[in-house]
């Protein structure tokens, strides 16, 4: 009987994922800047501030836009533009592409990873699959796509 062996995946480490986030932050900030400029134009050229009637809607729309940026790329190929640059891919723990639900869970729990002094990200230093808290909670892993002989 012939059994097929699957290669052991290589997981993306903390620094590769942080560099990818850094790239994505620049792209996302540019998008959010344009949206904010448009919102300010609709507000008679004034910045929308806490206490303004539309402030909750404004903040919600920025978070929603950020979610859509990440989720769209995670669902369609598993890579944001920053992840493509750093050659890492997000997949579910069973190797399948993530769903909208999984992307939402990962996005929301990533805020906890950031908000608690980045402890959720630092967890990747100790996890055997280099998962952060939001990876563990959402059932995802980040794969390192570099050739193994390149280091």
The whole-angstrom separation of Cα 17 and Cα 73 is 15
Determine the pLDDT at residue 149.
46
Determine the pLDDT at residue 20.
97
Query: Residue-wise pLDDT tens for the chain (151 aa)?
Result: 555 666 788 999 999 999 999 999 999 999 999 999 998 898 888 888 898 888 999 999 999 999 999 999 999 999 999 999 999 999 999 999 999 999 999 999 999 988 888 899 999 999 999 999 999 999 999 999 997 645 4
How far lies 21's CA from each of 27, 45, 50, 114, in Å?
10, 31, 28, 12
The whole-angstrom separation of Cα 96 and Cα 86 is 20
Stated pTM of the model: 0.86
Determine the pLDDT at residue 114.
86
Q: Which residues contact 100 (CB under 8 A, 6 or more apart)?
A: 71, 75
Determine the pLDDT at residue 5.
63
How far lies 112's CA from each of 46, 53, 64, in Å?
31, 27, 16
Residue with tokens 């344009």: 34
The whole-angstrom separation of Cα 16 and Cα 38 is 34
């Amino acid at each position: 009987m012939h059994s097929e062996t699957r290669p052991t995946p290589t997981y993306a480490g903390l620094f590769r994922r942080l560099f990818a986030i850094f790239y994505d932050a620049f792209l996302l900030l540019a998008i959010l800047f344009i949206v904010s400029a448009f919102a300010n134009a609709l507000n008679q050229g004034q910045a929308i501030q806490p206490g303004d009637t539309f402030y909750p809607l404004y903040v919600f729309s920025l978070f929603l836009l950020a979610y859509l940026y990440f989720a769209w790329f995670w669902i369609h190929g598993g890579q944001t533009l920053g992840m493509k640059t750093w050659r890492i891919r997000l997949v579910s723990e069973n190797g399948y592409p993530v769903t909208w639900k999984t992307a939402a869970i990962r996005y929301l729990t990533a805020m906890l990873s950031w908000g608690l002094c980045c402890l959720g990200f630092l967890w990747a230093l100790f996890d055997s699959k280099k998962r952060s808290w939001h990876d563990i909670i959402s059932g995802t892993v980040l794969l390192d796509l570099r050739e193994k002989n390149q280091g």
